[in-house]
Chain A
Amino acid sequence: MTITAPPREAATPPPPAGPPAARRLGGLLLRQWRRLTAMRTAIVLLFLLALAAIPGSLLPQRSLSQSAVSRYFADNPTLAPLLDRLYLFDVFSSPWFAAVYLLLFVSLIGCVLPRALEHARALRTPPPPAPRRLTQLPDSTRLATTLPPAAALDAVEEELRVRRYRVVRRDREGSAELSAEKGVLKETGNLVFHLALVALLLGLAGGKLWGYEGSILVPEGQRFCNSFQQYDTHSAGAMVDSGDLTPLCVGLEDFRATYEEDLTAASFTADITHGGPGEEGESTTIGVNDPLRVDGDRVYVTGHGFVPRFTVTLPDGTTFDDVSAPFLPTEQSTMASEGALKLPDLGAGAEDQLALQGFLAPTGLVQGGILTSIDPRPLAPQVALVAYRGYLGLDSGLPQSVYSLDASQIERDRLTEVGRANLSAGETMTLPDGTTVTFNGVSEFAAMQFSHDPGQLWVLGAAVAVLAGLLGMLLLRRERVFLRAAPAPGDGGTVLDVGALTRGSGDGAPRFAALTDDLRAVLATRADSRTTRAPSGAAPETGGAPA
């Protein structure tokens, strides 16, 4: 804060008496603007921002987990729609959250820009003249020396310059004065900090508008290309044109998960190839904490799971080799997974489709007919399958999850159970009509995410500036020291009045005492060297009377 700046509140002008309507409106606006850019408002808005963020952490958020929100709707059918109307499941993109932070930032800009201008001016102007009454400054004292006034100020000036003060000498009404200042970077730090917050917000907003993200499950041996049609789920900012996505394709060659003895997951790594569509591509390995970064785009491995593989043989001998579908892990510690395999095209028509719904254990243990998973590694994979026959409803027009059967088809008896079995790798189940299903074992899939956020580096730069500004603002001290020299009555020496103003880290007094002690010592040595040169001089007086 500029030392000379009056408090904002005090700057509000008194309302002019009985002005014409336009002026009154102008005055009103000005008053509201002053109120908005006052520090008190900033505090209240900061509090509001903190409060506004709270529901976003206590209620499920769509941006984090769509399924958690759906579950909340199912559990609270009356309350949820009400909350939804208040954007409580999208807090961080809600209009009221935006209103709070935009107000805060308007207040911040309104508060900081004028200060920045003022500070730019202050940087170019020398320290202000000493106040008339130095004794009224928070710290002040009086030094006495046998040196004449000019020599005394010379000595002090030199010492202050060594301490990296900016120093100005002035002559006012016959008495020599000295104004010194240091730590102007404190204010610079403050401005950098606050303006960097604005830059950070702009970076965030830009990243949201021009960024996008897509996720997809990729089984080993398969590849995907960066387009919204391919992704299982994606989100994109308003300015993203789906034709402009980076042309990049990624293939998953091999996925490995390693575990510690106690089955803590130690690493997930994926060997991938990446390159433009139609290209051979480069090979690299990515993993947790180690994404692929190409030209501002990133590809992550965000999870993994297993793909059970089956061979289905129809009674007529037709064989479908290697049919498979990714099963989603329901428990990370054992990788117990669930999923479904839909076979609509067995050639027997829409009413005679086959589906397998099941549970997969990478290392299975069957107890009392129930299959459980006891190890996340695929040591002895087993599946518990239920086979259905009938109409899957895939062409009904309603979207269906790829990972489960449409339960309503089962309820409506459009799909009927035709068999169930627990299978280890290599085992076969035979359905009543003679169809056989053989479990061949598992391969792995990786959950991958493609991210494009053009604001990211900008945000990082702003964050670094925030931190640098903060350190400057909090660690630096702004000090102003003023001295006025007057001839001591009588013996030709000098009396120096010293006063100081400190901003930041409140402890002005001990520092001021140390500074004046040093100045006293400097003056004494100077005076000494003069006396040695002119031995007739009076003994230097070193003690200073406090003001």
Chain B
Amino acid sequence: MTADQLSTLSDTLFSTSVGLYSLAVVAFCAQLAFGRRPARERDLVGASAGAGASLPPAGARALPGEPAPVRRWGRAAMLLTAAGALTHTGVLVARGMATERLPWGNMYEFATAVVLVAVVAFLVLALRSPGLRHLGLFVLAPVVVSMVAIGLFLYVEGGPLVAALRSSWLAVHVSTAILGFGVFFVSGIASVLYLVRSRYEARGADAGSGIVARMPSAATLDRVAHRTAVFGFPIWTFAVIAGAIWAESAWGRFWGWDPKETWAFIAWVVYAAYLHARTTAGWRGRPAAWVNVVGLAVMVFNLTYVNMVSAGLHSYGGVD
């Protein structure tokens, strides 16, 4: 295939992924709509109250106690999500082949990759602990919104990299930044849901209708948020260090408080605050979750505002 054909293929796959994710959202909605409060839920609450463990062990694939339509919709939703992740991977692979370089040289590619990491992180979590599949709607809906926004506002044709980006540090720094960001994305969503769910639980709302009733328990959500943040934090730390090493050879200093660097630092500090908050009396629970949400807001701000509005050395976004 020629480079042009590959580029077109990449764009087609992008639309296909958005389509598949949208169908997954519909299926996740249906799963929630048809389901009564899942019986599993009670097990989760019980387990977390009893022994501090709430993620069901791996391998417990079938969710007993779910009516057949719910299970069917749930399976369809997961399959659609996985199919979307495949075509989504194809977007980047085709881009990379068309441009003969790593497919994260501009904001469009970077953001697309971040969303892919988030989807894959969700898939991994949901495969390991089926109880978390009920998060699907809440992960996939922001994913679809993000993808549409990326397609509308960030799209650029694939092209060669500017000289400063031609370094093996692109692979190291940007890949880890994408990985960290994608994981934080899932973490932030879990904290948002935790905030919603914990208010619901505090009100003593009983099993019943409503989407909130079918979410995983607040304890589970809190644990997912923390675990993913714990996973993401060293990755982000590494990404920042790798960025500094790269900056030393590309810009003549390893740290210069360029806006992008500044916001990467701010995000790092906020996530450090989150990890502390989780283990500090008086901050556990809702305050800590808010810190995590602020962390995600900082990450998104860094990707969007800092790239597009402020002028710095990192202005490789390719968006005018």
Instruction: Name A's B-contacting residues (CB within 8 A).
Output: 1, 7, 9, 39-40, 42-43, 46-47, 49-50, 53-54, 56-58, 61, 63-64, 91-92, 138-139, 204, 213, 260, 262, 264-268, 287-291, 298, 300, 302, 449, 451, 453, 456, 459-460, 463-464, 466-467, 470-471, 474, 505-510
Contact = CB atoms under 8 A, between A and B. Distances in A.
Contact of A467 (B237, B250, B257, B270): B237
In order of increasing CB-CB distance, the 6 nearest A-B pairs are A509-B51, A57-B262, A46-B273, A509-B53, A57-B259, A300-B252
Given A46-B273, A507-B55, A509-B53, A40 B282 contact: yes
Given A474-B230, A506-B223, A265 B52 contact: no
Given A56-B262, A57-B263, A506 B234 contact: no
Given A54-B262, A266-B166, 13 more contacts: A40-B283, A43-B273, A43-B277, A46-B269, A54-B266, A56-B262, A260-B160, A265-B162, A300-B251, A451-B253, A467-B238, A474-B230, A506-B223
B248 interface: yes
Given A264-B162, A288-B250, A289-B167, A463 B230 contact: no
A290 B55 CA distance: 49
B209 interface: no
Contact of B252 (A267, A298, A467): A298
B82 interface: no
Contact of A64 (B55, B252, B257, B291): B257
A57 B310 contact: yes
Interface residues of B, number: 59
Contacts of B51: 138-139, 508-509
Contact of A466 (B163, B164, B237, B306): B237
B161 A264 contact: yes
A510 B53 contact: yes
Contacts of A451: 252-253
B265 interface: yes
8 contacts: A9-B281, A39-B280, A43-B273, A56-B257, A289-B250, A467-B238, A505-B227, A509-B53
Contacts of A287: 163
Contacts of B262: 53-54, 56-57
A267 B161 CA distance: 10
B161 A50 contact: no
B265 A267 contact: no
B164 A288 contact: yes
Residue among A42, A50, A298, A467 with the highest chain B CB neighbour number at 10 A: A50
A360 B245 CA distance: 36
Contacts of A42: 276
A289 B164 contact: yes
B160 A266 contact: yes
A302 B164 CA distance: 10
B254 interface: yes
Given A57-B263, A57-B306, A300-B252, A267 B166 contact: yes
Contacts of A291: 249, 252
Contacts of B43: none
Nearest to A287: B163
Contacts of B249: 289-291
B65 interface: no
